[in-house]
């Protein structure tokens, strides 16, 4: 709490007045801490691939170039790390944009089913490469939804892509349902699942259950926090149910206003 005595120019019997301003700074401090953590996380996340790129360039310069097979391998790593930087920057920008928007402005009434099909087509190859089946289930009676199609597409991509990334075998199902005054989206997988102790922090920026695994999968740790922010942009919510070793289901509710 802060108290600021301020000198005033009242005409009353007393030449001075004391104005006490009481302000709750705990919330401000909390936001400051979140911002500071975010900046330090971003710096760390950007530095990791950069350091790796610098290391491999140096190794090439110091002789690795002489052996064509080694040179090819190192160049491939440099390419992967550069791609990681690219994805990370795209996710950071996207999160920043969504976070600073009060409300979604560009609204079109779209058949979500079409966007869902596009997402399935986009990720079909990735799933096929891992031998995972991709299924789209659209319940009868699902009505078009007023939204920015790019935003909903990003939400669906992040969830289905995660389903594929964290599933070794089986199926990833994207389900569209018409709920009570809300569109409901479910993404269910038969993957590795998530331990209960991780669930409360799952939607935090840069939170990962297994950092190494996420990195190998090309993850940035921002996907779910982007999903949460998009849902909230539409006054909606997202929750998760998971059983380790069995699979995970993300449930998004987007109200119809």
Positions in the binding site for ligand ADP (CB under 6 A): 162-163, 166, 189, 191-192, 194, 202, 207-210, 214, 219-225, 248
Q: For ligand ADP, give the closer residue by CB, 73 or 213.
A: 213
Coil, strand or helix at 16: coil
Tokens of residue 222, six digits: 């921002």
Give min distance, CB of 23 to ligand ADP, in A.
34
Q: Compute the distance between CA of residue 124 and CA of residue 121 in angstroms, rounded to an integer.
A: 5
Give min distance, CB of 159 to ligand ADP, in A.
8
Q: For ligand ADP, give the closer residue by CB, 148 or 220.
A: 220
Q: For ligand ADP, give the closer residue by CB, 74 or 161.
A: 161
Give min distance, CB of 49 to ligand ADP, in A.
14
Q: For ligand ADP, give the closer residue by CB, 102 or 212.
A: 212
Give min distance, CB of 188 to ligand ADP, in A.
9
Inter-axis angle of helices 68-100 and 26-61, to 10 degrees? 160
Q: For ligand ADP, give the closer residue by CB, 74 or 231.
A: 231
Give min distance, CB of 80 to ligand ADP, in A.
15
Cα 224–chain centre separation: 3
Tokens of residue 241, six digits: 């149910």
Q: Compute the distance between CA of residue 204 and CA of residue 65 in angstroms, rounded to an integer.
A: 42
Instruction: Judge contact between 227 and 252, C-beta under 8 A.
Output: yes
Q: For ligand ADP, give the closer residue by CB, 74 or 95.
A: 95
Give min distance, CB of 238 to ligand ADP, in A.
11
Q: Compute the distance between CA of residue 65 and CA of residue 58 in angstroms, rounded to an integer.
A: 10
Coil, strand or helix at 109: strand
- Label the pairing between strands 108-110 and 145-147: antiparallel
DSSP category for residue 107: -
């Amino acid at each position: 709490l802060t108290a600021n005595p301020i000198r005033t120019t009242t005409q009353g019997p007393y030449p001075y007045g004391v104005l006490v301003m009481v302000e709750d700074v705990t919330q401000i401090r909390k936001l400051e801490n979140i911002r500071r953590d975010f900046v330090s996380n971003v710096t760390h996340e950007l530095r990791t691939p950069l350091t790796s790129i610098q290391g491999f360039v140096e190794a090439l310069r110091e002789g690795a170039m002489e052996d064509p097979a080694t040179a090819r391998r190192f160049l491939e790593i440099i390419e992967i790390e550069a791609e990681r930087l690219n994805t990370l920057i795209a996710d950071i920008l996207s999160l920043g944009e969504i976070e600073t928007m009060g409300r979604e402005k560009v609204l079109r009434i779209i058949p979500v089913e079409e966007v869902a099909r596009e997402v399935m087509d986009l990720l079909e190859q990735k799933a096929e490469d891992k031998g995972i089946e991709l299924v789209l289930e659209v319940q009868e009676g699902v009505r078009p939804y007023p939204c920015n199609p790019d935003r909903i597409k990003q939400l669906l991509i992040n969830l289905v892509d995660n389903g594929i990334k964290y599933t070794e075998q089986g199926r990833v199902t994207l389900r569209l349902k018409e709920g009570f005054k809300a569109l409901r989206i479910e993404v269910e997988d038969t993957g590795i699942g998530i331990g209960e102790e991780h669930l409360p922090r799952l939607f935090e920026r840069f939170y990962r259950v297994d950092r190494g695994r996420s990195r190998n999968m090309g993850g940035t740790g921002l996907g779910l926090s982007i999903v949460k922010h998009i849902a909230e942009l539409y006054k909606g919510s997202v929750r998760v149910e998971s059983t380790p070793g069995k699979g995970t289901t993300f449930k998004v509710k987007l109200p119809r206003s």
